[in-house]
């Protein structure tokens, strides 16, 4: 299977363990971005997965690409140019102390991307899936333009398109509102991850239950075949409960509930769900199994440092089948 | 608000993570002392907070002062001279294995302090609060003398005085008993932190409940307006339950119960309560809110490495209001 | 008390914290092996404990011996020669992600041991206990031969012999089956740790309950005075429940149930039980107390990084008596 | 003595040791900026030293201020507001491999500073020295405006002003040329650090020797009493030779030549010279001694990790007197 | 340019800094192997470079492949199967204390490779260079057979072949002598790296000078167009001098002499020369420039931790041109 | 050979690398003491070596003993009791910045030792050498008394005695002068390490050259057969030159001069000389070879982190023979 993802990749910098920013003497490095996280997961599951992005043309940009390659991502479509590397600083909480992120991604090399940087035709030809999120069109007009071109190309080539329509109000600084931009992008989607609330806010699509809201989305955007979402109960920063559901227009498939503690790293757990679900949809002929696979992948991601999910298929399947024991494997 | 605290600051040395002393190859450095911990907390909450102490006149003494300054403490009243830097070695436990402290503080530069080292008049003029604990008079006659002078100056200047009357039997090596020394010091106090048992042991003040014992303390020491204490249930070294209560002569104000797990660092959690309570008393016109703020500050301290509480006002208020979710802040 | 143990010691290499192998930049070193782990525990409890093994004659072999000596083991009977140092790579899991071991111990210096390397007579004379496990005879004919000679010498000298009859199917590569080798070794044993299932698989000794199976073992192997086993419920990789039982031919002595969380390091927890039990049998005139001591030792080992148990007698007794509070010791 | 400095402070992030950026898993944190580096040095020498700057109003901005305070800098004049924290990434070279810096300081909180942020009158009243560098006016119009106001206030209050007129061509992005801005700033200076080449490039002031160029500068800018510069021979990244000279309009005072190897950290060594020289000018009545003190301070800075010089007066004087032996002090 | 290399990749484990093995608590991980080191260098110089090898089918084998990919190597031809991952333990010396290697590579997954594992035809089609070393045929008959097939395929396809004919007497354990195996492999070579001594030992080819010996090699093996070697003077473990020479049948091209101190990591410096030379031969039409590029690449590798050379083309050219200054690049 | 040494062992705490105390966040642990350092060296050379000392009866005291055992020292004569563990803080310099030690050893468990703690008769029976230094009698009357008893017992049993008569003026706080104590201790010595200056200061023994002073010492103390000393030229903290000489009453044997750079750790290098010399005297029938072995051992110690010399006999002999190349050993 060949997967294409598109979006910004940031350098993540975190104090060791649960130190506060003011205590730190060093910062641990990871790289991540919601779309690239999905790409790494799918590469780890054995898919051929390429990420499309733009990095600054210096050693840190190259280090970012090296990080993706290390975890199996094809970086041949990465472009290098001016601008900075997007950053985010993550302080990891514990118990009732929340984790905190300080974003520092303004005017990144990715935000300066323009449509002529990307030859979508050659990238998407032969692909089996294209994934994007609501972060990308929030960053710059150029990024939004590139994305629209990518979705339209995917549609023309018959490549299924998924979107995590996440909305972050502190992005969207370039003068457009998500309500102006997101609908045209969502038109081309096969699978949408989002909540009732978001459907209403972004598209004015309303439904009293997830199922009804999903049905309304499918009516408004006829390309959509699947609507999905996760539900998280945050007991403390070290203890969450997670489940997922998938609606195919007929039935809602709900995953088991995962009781997750301790939490090593909560970042990228939503992306791990998306990747697990895509893997499941492309591999199993069984929607229940697909949503279980996605939810279990997400649960396992909570145990792995960094943004990307490095759980193996075997590990995900063990948990998806309900075995939470974590018994030592020799 | 201007706060003055007085007491020894030690270098704390701990094996990484939960290693035992015999396994360690390096020791993590923090600095702390019960009174200075209160000072740092109040500085972090935005108060002007100065700590009065005496350090050895060498690089480690200067490093200790630098540590306090870094976290906002005014070190202009620190004196430097002969003697060693007090130390303590902390091994952090987990689950049913207890944490252990090896103290190495005998004959420290602080224990050699004498009244002429401190100009209390100029230090306390304009101050809004003065805080001390039962550790200080236990260390040396000089320290006890300095403290008494400080309390008397505070009383003369109308500065409220608080005391954590903690009693450690393995201190008090200089030939006096706490029963000889503590009463005169307690005379000048506005707020006392201690348990029924301590009131009885130190002052022969008896009461069958916390409220009655508090009332008896107020009778014996008419300056006292508040008596307070915390209650801790130690389920394991990684899981504690904590609450606090405050008695003002009329009512007992009880905080909510905090279920704390995992515990990152239990040291200084009592000091965090005291600081939170002082902050509350000086800021809110609401004793219930003050005791909730103190208890929440203490609970959050358990998640922070080191002796000092680096939780922000916003974080404390979130938890004080009952939100334990630790949800990621972006 | 003088204790002799015999078996391979490996270098253990683990990624920091809960990192996956592919994320690691460095590997933390420990040394361990099931029999040597027992030896270290007993040395830590104050017994004179010597481990018999064979290391490669290079700096890593010497480092392994130094590690044992550091923790109190007498290494005078260690032999040095050709062959490699056995290794194992351990990835530590968390929550529902299991820990994983990659063994790399083929053709080690220990596997090349031959009977003439060991003068059992002088080693075992005056000893109070000899311990072995089912790992050793699985490694090579030479190791099995050495072991048999050791057990026979111990029997001749009247030294009690214990065995953890653990069976690992991926060992036993040198052409013999455990069913061929284990019975003769078990003949000489005073105490056997194993489950009903193992008794049946290895010796075709069957019993419907632990007690019956134990009785059948004692019938088949008349030297056996004690049969013991532990029971573990693996809730997650971070949360286990553990108890132990000991059968002396008359009664079954059951330890309390230990609820263990968080788990720092699960490796060597079975060995900690064995060492605690041996300590108890040789020290207390009370089988219930012995099995409680063993179980509490095992529970505490879960909180200590590395393969070996570094809990003190006082710590074990505190937990054995039911105090799980882990209260800070000053 | 009371010293005021003004300029941006950046978070510096470096791979451990001499690792390349692409190899790093973590980045060591320091904070620094050419003017703040001077401020820290003078604080370490016992002067009262305050740094004026503007930080983002988040945890990293506060950490930066804490870093300055730890090393003795008065941060009461620091302002907090919008914008990011300036960063630079430093890869440390060795031998013939050069160190490399990737700057990431565009649009920092400091660059957004405006004159109304700073009350120069109250800051500079009573000060004994004011120091600035050519980095500040290169960052933004606001920074240049603030600086000019500061210099003019200093002049009005009779506070001596020093400038390191360093020119970095990749700064100066806001539409002005240094030739437009620097002359008015240099007008108010008592001491200028720069080379013949810079005098010519920035002010069109020409002289065939350092002495002649210095004399020409003094003619063009009559407030200047001292012109100074350092000379560095870079044998390799690990081995430099350094000397300094100071011209007072009459004589050139040359320091001894320092042969520096190995080099631990070359960053901030010029700033260490400036601080040492200012210290010398304000302390000694001896220009030769002042320039020797400055040069020795700079040489010692090469042995200290981070941007700031933490050498003590005693250490500087030992080296300034020609003792290079580095003999162990017990 | 497309480059193919073939050989074993080992996990390298080293104590931190210059600690001895017996002192270490952790081991730093790198991966390397003489041929893969060449491959990484050429990938870093921008060539398309693929390494052919065989790894164990477990997480460490995958980590090894990830390491190569991170640094730009194409790993599509890597095979996975049974056997262990080759290891070596490196203790880094300093001054007059030598570095030491303990190899632990017996019976690795690579040593178990067999010709049917590799489809040389498809791998080498379109390649511009093929590189091997004398380590590979020393490991097993299977490795030697694979290599011979690769060289013959390269010859048939017209792909130039280079060999570093390094001889290690402690390898060659599988029953063949290098004198039996190396000549047939050397037949197909275009470029050979080796010394007079080696030519004599391996091929009985004799010459009194490097030039004469080279000429004799070209006579014996008519495919050879270039003979090359490096010369190292080891002053101490921290200070070496290095130069290289290249003979093309007509002239000897000698590089400048590099005085290298300090030395960060001496491993892989010969491989860095080979890679630099291959880059030079394929890029410059100038043998002198090629040998200078190779020697400078090797010199720079001494400053880089790990086995692989991460110097950039620009860095190599700076040093190749004689600039040793290591001046900070901003 | 069986060696006995006697003296205090301290915990050494150092900032990582060349950080200053004020920069450190953690401190690296080593244990050392001049006499124990000699003991470890001789244990590493294969001698049976036991150290006699007294540690506090807590986990740090046990860790100190474990450290000695790890490196081969027999700790059966160690006593445990009250008092603290002696400490010293070491900041490592570089280039012209000196290393610095802050001692914190007052009132240690060792200083509280008394003669009845040690059964010299059983310890020294069968020993081949006893070593002490001038540090021990400086610490307390009890330590001096114990030492005298040890020397007298050694003399009675015919065990050769060596002394490094090092004088530290900041010790000797218990009311006696070295001139009062040292002569009686020196009476019993076979070998003395010291300088002309020390001979004069401590014993009023004068000689114009080392040889003459040595002869005078032998006259004053007829048991002395050897007088020895080292000579160090401290070029910088990173570059020293070292040689040694030995006088046997007839000739002066001078070692070659060792040019040592870089210096990893200068502490314990004198002790390494003493140990090497003792090894040489007991092993070789050749005084020149003995002094060369001692000097080379000392030179190699400079490359090894910590107080103790971990160089092997083979390494020392290589350097003693003049091979400084540090060539990689595979």
* E105 half-sphere exposure, CB direction, 13 A CA radius: 30
| Alpha helices in C195-286, H assignment, sequence order | 196-203, 210-220, 269-283
State how far Cα D45 lies from the chain centre. 15
Where is C236: in which H helix or E strand? strand C226-236
**What's the pLDDT at F133?**
98
Cβ distance D95 to E70 less than 8 Å, yes or no, reads: no
When the pLDDT of each residue in chain F is averaged and rounded to a whole number, the result is 98
Q: Which two tokens stand for residue E125?
A: 């089609």
When the pLDDT of each residue in chain A is averaged and rounded to a whole number, the result is 98
Confidence tier at C198 by pLDDT (50, 70, 90): very high
Give CA separation, C62 vs C53, C59, C65, C69, E102, in Å: 12, 5, 5, 10, 13
* Within-domain flag for D72: yes
Q: Which site among A326, A327, A329 would you substitute to test the C interface, given the most C Cβ atoms closer than 10 Å to its Cβ?
A: A326
- The pairing of strands E239-247 and E252-254 is antiparallel
Domain containing residue E145 = 2-320
Please list the residues that pair with F232 across neighbouring strands. F242
* Within-domain flag for B37: yes
Judge contact between B22 and B99, C-beta under 8 A.
no
Give CA separation, F86 vs A167, B209, D126, D142, F193, in Å: 60, 47, 48, 57, 25
**Residues A205, A193: Cα–Cα separation, whole Å:** 14
**Percent of chain D predicted with pLDDT > 70:** 100
Q: Which residues contact C180 (CB under 8 A, 6 or more apart)?
A: none
Rounded to the nearest angstrom, the minimum Cα separation between E16 and chain D is 11
**What's the pLDDT at B93?**
97
Please list the residues that pair with F26 across neighbouring strands. B28
* B117 half-sphere exposure, CB direction, 13 A CA radius: 24
**What's the pLDDT at C78?**
98
* Within-domain flag for B326: no
What would the pLDDT profile of C91-138 be if each residue is shown by its tens digit? 999 999 999 999 999 999 999 999 999 999 999 999 999 999 999 999
Where is F31: in which H helix or E strand? strand F26-32
Give CA separation, F208 vs A202, D279, F229, in Å: 96, 46, 15
**What's the pLDDT at E122?**
98
Q: Provide, as residue numbers in chain F, all residues whose Cβ is less than 8 Å from the Cβ of C71.
A: 66
Q: Provide, as residue numbers in chain D, all residues whose Cβ is less than 8 Å from the Cβ of A57.
A: none
* Within-domain flag for B221: yes
**Residues E20, E10: Cα–Cα separation, whole Å:** 21
Residues of chain E with pLDDT under 50: none
- The pairing of strands C239-247 and C258-260 is antiparallel
**Which backbone phi and psi does E212 adopt, to 5 degrees?**
-65, -40
CA-based nearest residue to C191, from C139, C147, C246: C246
**Residues D283, D281: Cα–Cα separation, whole Å:** 6
Q: A261 to chain B: nearest residue by CA?
A: B262
The DSSP string of A222-253 is TT--EEEEEEEEEEETTEEEEEEEEE-SS-EE
Judge contact between E168 and E138, C-beta under 8 A.
yes
- E19 in contact with C at a CB cutoff of 8 Å? no
* CB count in 10 Å sphere of residue A82: 11
Please list the residues that pair with F84 across neighbouring strands. F108
Average pLDDT across each block of 10 residues of chain D; the chain has 330 residues. List them in order: 97 98 98 98 98 98 98 98 98 97 97 98 98 98 98 98 96 96 98 97 96 98 98 97 98 98 98 98 97 98 98 98 95
The predicted model gives B33-44 an average pLDDT of 98
Cβ distance F236 to D326 less than 8 Å, yes or no, reads: yes
Residues of chain A with pLDDT under 50: none
Q: Which residue of D300, D310, D329 is in closest CB contact with F100?
A: D329
* Within-domain flag for F19: yes
State how far Cα E267 lies from the chain centre. 10
**Which backbone phi and psi does F232 adopt, to 5 degrees?**
-125, 130
**Residues F285, C141: Cα–Cα separation, whole Å:** 46
CA-based nearest residue to E39, from E214, E275, E281, E246: E275
Judge contact between D40 and D131, C-beta under 8 A.
no
* Within-domain flag for D328: no
Judge contact between B242 and B248, C-beta under 8 A.
no
CATH number at residue B116: 3.40.1190.20
Please list the residues that pair with A193 across neighbouring strands. A164, A228
Instruction: Say if residue B214 is preceded by a cis peptide, omega within 30 of 0.
Output: no
The DSSP string of A30-90 is EEE-HHHHHHHHHHHTT-EEEEE-EEESSHHHHHHHHHHHHTT-B-TT-EEESSBPPEEEE
CA-based nearest residue to F280, from F4, F71, F68, F42: F42
Judge contact between E21 and F305, C-beta under 8 A.
no
Give CA separation, F245 vs B195, E246, F130, F270, in Å: 69, 49, 21, 13
**Percent of chain E predicted with pLDDT > 90:** 100
**Residues D14, D18: Cα–Cα separation, whole Å:** 9
Q: Provide, as residue numbers in chain C, all residues whose Cβ is less than 8 Å from the Cβ of E305.
A: none
**Residues E112, E140: Cα–Cα separation, whole Å:** 7
What would the pLDDT profile of A76-100 be if each residue is shown by its tens digit? 999 999 999 999 999 999 999 999 9
**Percent of chain A predicted with pLDDT > 90:** 100
What letters, b where the CB count within 10 A reaches 16 and e where it falls short, cover B261-276? bbbbbbbbbbbbbbbb
CA-based nearest residue to E105, from E182, E4, E33, E179: E33
Q: Provide, as residue numbers in chain B, all residues whose Cβ is less than 8 Å from the Cβ of F102.
A: 58-60
**Residues D295, D279: Cα–Cα separation, whole Å:** 12
DSSP D255: P
**What's the pLDDT at E215?**
98
When the pLDDT of each residue in chain C is averaged and rounded to a whole number, the result is 98
- E60 in contact with C at a CB cutoff of 8 Å? yes
**Residues F236, F242: Cα–Cα separation, whole Å:** 13
CA-based nearest residue to A93, from D224, B319, F329: B319
Which residue reads 């986990």 in tokens? F59
Write a three-state SS string for A178-224. HHHHHHHHHHCCCEEECCHHHHHHHHCCCCCCHHHHHHHHHHHCCCC
D74 Rama class: left (phi>0) / alpha (psi -120 to 50) / beta: beta
Q: Which residue of A22, A103, A234 is in closest CB contact with B326?
A: A234
Q: Which residues contact A239 (CB under 8 A, 6 or more apart)?
A: A259, A260, A261, A262, A263
**What's the pLDDT at A301?**
98
- E285 in contact with D at a CB cutoff of 8 Å? no
What would the pLDDT profile of D109-127 be if each residue is shown by its tens digit? 999 999 999 999 999 999 9
Burial of E291 (0-12, 13-18, 19+ CB in 10 A): buried
**Percent of chain A predicted with pLDDT > 70:** 100
Q: Give me the tens of pLDDT residue by residue for chain F, a chain 330 residues long.
A: 999 999 999 999 999 999 999 999 999 999 999 999 999 999 999 999 999 999 999 999 999 999 999 999 999 999 999 999 999 999 999 999 999 999 999 999 999 999 999 999 999 999 999 999 999 999 999 999 999 999 999 999 999 999 999 999 999 999 999 999 999 999 999 999 999 999 999 999 999 999 999 999 999 999 999 999 999 999 999 999 999 999 999 999 999 999 999 999 999 999 999 999 999 999 999 999 999 999 999 999 999 999 999 999 999 999 999 999 999 999
Q: C15 to chain E: nearest residue by CA?
A: E26
Q: Which two tokens stand for residue B24?
A: 């360690």
Rounded to the nearest angstrom, the minimum Cα separation between D323 and chain F is 8
**Residues C328, D250: Cα–Cα separation, whole Å:** 70
* Within-domain flag for E325: no
Confidence tier at C301 by pLDDT (50, 70, 90): very high
* B222 half-sphere exposure, CB direction, 13 A CA radius: 0
* Within-domain flag for B243: yes
CA-based nearest residue to F53, from F11, F95, F20, F102: F11
- F8 in contact with B at a CB cutoff of 8 Å? no
**What's the pLDDT at E240?**
98
**What's the pLDDT at D269?**
98
Cβ distance B237 to C262 less than 8 Å, yes or no, reads: no
Confidence tier at C59 by pLDDT (50, 70, 90): very high
**Which backbone phi and psi does A167 adopt, to 5 degrees?**
-120, 125
* CB count in 10 Å sphere of residue E166: 16
- C237 in contact with A at a CB cutoff of 8 Å? yes
Q: Provide, as residue numbers in chain D, all residues whose Cβ is less than 8 Å from the Cβ of B72.
A: 66, 69
Cβ distance A330 to C170 less than 8 Å, yes or no, reads: yes
* CB count in 10 Å sphere of residue B281: 26
Each as own residue / partner, the long-range contacts of residues D169-173 (CB below 8 Å, 24 or more positions apart, any chain) are D170/D103, D170/E330, D171/D135, D171/D138, D171/D139, D172/D138, D173/D106
Judge contact between B188 and B155, C-beta under 8 A.
yes
Judge contact between A295 and A278, C-beta under 8 A.
no
Cβ distance A97 to B329 less than 8 Å, yes or no, reads: no
3-class secondary-structure state, position E177: coil
- State how many domains chain E has: 1
Judge contact between C142 and C115, C-beta under 8 A.
yes
């Amino acid at each position: 299977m060949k997967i294409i993802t598109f979006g910004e990749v940031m350098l993540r910098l975190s104090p060791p363990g649960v130190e506060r920013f003011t205590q730190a003497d060093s910062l641990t490095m990871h790289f991540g971005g919601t779309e690239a996280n999905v790409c790494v997961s799918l590469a780890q599951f054995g898919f051929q997965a390429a990420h499309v992005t733009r990095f600054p043309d210096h050693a840190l940009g190259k280090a970012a690409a090296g990080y993706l390659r290390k975890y199996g991502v094809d970086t041949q479509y990465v472009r290098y140019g001016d601008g900075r590397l997007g950053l985010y600083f993550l302080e990891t909480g514990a118990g009732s102390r929340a984790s905190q992120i300080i974003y520092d991604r303004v005017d990144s090399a990715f935000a300066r991307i323009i449509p002529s940087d990307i030859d979508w035709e050659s990238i998407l030809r032969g692909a089996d899936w294209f994934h994007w999120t609501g972060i990308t069109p929030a960053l710059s007009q150029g990024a939004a333009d590139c994305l629209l071109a990518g979705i339209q190309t995917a549609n023309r080539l018959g490549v299924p398109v998924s979107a995590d329509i996440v909305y972050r109000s502190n992005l969207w600084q370039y003068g457009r509102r998500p309500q102006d931009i997101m609908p045209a992008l969502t038109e081309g989607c096969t699978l949408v991850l989002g909540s009732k609330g978001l459907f209403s806010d972004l598209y004015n699509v309303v439904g009293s239950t997830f199922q009804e809201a999903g049905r309304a989305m499918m009516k408004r955007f006829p390309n959509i075949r699947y609507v999905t979402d996760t539900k998280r109960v945050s007991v403390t920063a070290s203890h969450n409960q997670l489940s997922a559901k998938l609606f195919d227009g007929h039935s809602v498939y709900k995953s088991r509930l995962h009781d997750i503690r301790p939490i090593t790293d909560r970042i990228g757990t939503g992306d791990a769900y998306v990747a697990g679900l895509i893997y499941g949809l492309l591999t199993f002929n069984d929607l229940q199994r697909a949503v279980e696979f996605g939810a279990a992948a997400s649960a396992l991601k909570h145990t792995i440092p960094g943004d990307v999910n490095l759980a193996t298929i075997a590990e995900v399947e063990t948990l998806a089948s309900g075995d939470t024991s974590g018994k030592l494997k020799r």
